[in-house]
Amino acid sequence: MIGRPSHVKWYEYSYRADAIIQSRLSFRSPASDPMELVKRRLRLSKSVTRHPVILPFASGITQYSISWGRRTVVEIVFLGASNPETGRMIRSIQQIDPNFQVAGFIDNDPAKRGTEFLGYPVFGGLEALDDLLRRDLYFVNLITGSTRARYETSLELARRGCRFANFIHPSVELTMVELGVGNYVQEGVILQAAVTMGDNSSIHMGTLVGHESTIGNSVFIAHGCSVSGKVEIGDGTFIGTHVAVIPRIKIGRWVTIGAGAVVTKDIPDYATVVGVPGRVIKLAEPVYADGSIASQNR
Ligand SMILES: CC(C)(COP(=O)(O)OP(=O)(O)OC[C@H]1O[C@@H](n2cnc3c(N)ncnc32)[C@H](O)[C@@H]1OP(=O)(O)O)[C@@H](O)C(=O)NCCC(=O)NCCS
């Protein structure tokens, strides 16, 4: 089944206590000043932390790495040294929180090994992990061109013991939104109330995801899409640029939706859909049942 039972209220289906309390706090008394919200979230994280836990980084707003109530630096390794937009996002987050640090990049292109990208070192490919895993680092996968490549590389990182951080532009409002780890959300994305997002998914610039919609694991949604309310998107699904999805649609797992499509009907698993209205043009052979990296990651 995709998504969660409809009778469960938005604040009950969070699997992290800190997320539940943060959502409730924000819901009760929304802060108009972003820095006030930062301070509240930091205070709250401290107050609910009883054990040395690492909370995933979420947004430019501080919500991470609280150890025995002390806030520490979070250092990130990015997978994929190619998109300069990453540099803009790093700067936007650091303007709010200088404790967000970048260790460097890994990239499987041997020509990039030992070079710099955006002023940070490229350590090499996955063979560099042995050294990196000796350090206290978090990983963010920037691969988005193929959900299969994103899933397979994240799965490999998880199997090797890497911990994932969320990489989310500070412009993205996360109040009453629930998300897992390893997600990459670009500038100007709107996630409406009670949206839930799994692990290892990515949404590009300017996409709207309507209220109570559910995004699975290892999903990619390109820029400028409009996903209406109560839509369910299964694991591994790829949604091309400027796609529109009408309300309450269920999109299966490992679906591909072509650029500019208008989705007006439920879509079965492994289908490719194009056009207005969207029509299924092919069904792929199943390769993966889901896009979860959770069993390796929790
Ligand atoms: C749908 C898509 C994935 C191609 O899938 P594919 O399985 O390789 O399909 P093909 O290229 O073989 O095309 C199959 C048919 O669909 C049509 N088609 C392909 N993409 C289409 C689209 N976006 N809208 C309408 N028709 C499309 C082709 O013209 C072709 O039609 P024909 O059989 O009458 O000649 C690709 O065209 C697409 O839209 N990708 C999204 C790219 C994108 O938005 N990336 C985000 C960047 S951040």
Question: Which amino acid, residue 22?
Answer: Q
CB 154 within 8 A of CB 292: no
Whether the Cβ atoms of residue 265 and residue 247 lie closer than 8 Å to each other: no
Is 283 touching ligand 1 by the criterion CB < 6 Å?
no
Beta-bridged to residue 70, according to DSSP, are 67
Q: Relative to the CA of 282, which ligand 1 atom is closest?
A: 7
* Res 294: pLDDT: 74
Sign for the pseudo-dihedral over CA of 224, 227, 229, 235: negative
Percent of residues in the chain assigned helix, strand, coil, to nearest 5: 20, 25, 55
- Compute the distance from residue 270 Cα to the ligand 1 centre, in Å: 15
Mean pLDDT, rounded, for 217-227: 98
- Identify the residue whose C-alpha is closest to ligand 1 atom 34: 281
The pLDDT assigned to 295 comes to 56
From ligand 1's centre to the CA of 178, what distance in Å? Answer: 32
User: CA 22 from chain center: how many Å?
Assistant: 18
| Distances 115 to 75, 99, 120, 121 between C-alpha atoms, Å | 19, 25, 8, 6
The mean-pLDDT minimum among 28-37, 110-119, 152-161, 198-207 falls in: 28-37
Q: Does the CB atom of residue 234 touch ligand 1 within 6 A?
A: no
How, if at all, do strands 184-185 and 167-168 pair?
Answer: parallel
Query: Ligand 1 centroid vs 259 CA: distance in angstroms?
Result: 7
Q: Give residue 258 CA to ligand 1 midpoint distance, Å.
A: 5
CA–centroid distance, 168 to ligand 1, in Å, is: 29
Position 61 scores a pLDDT of: 34
Cα–Cα dist 17/25, whole Å: 12
* Cis omega (within 30 of 0) for bond into 277: yes
Q: What is the pLDDT of residue 96?
A: 86
Residue ranges and CATH numbers for the domains of the chain are 176-283 (2.160.10.10)
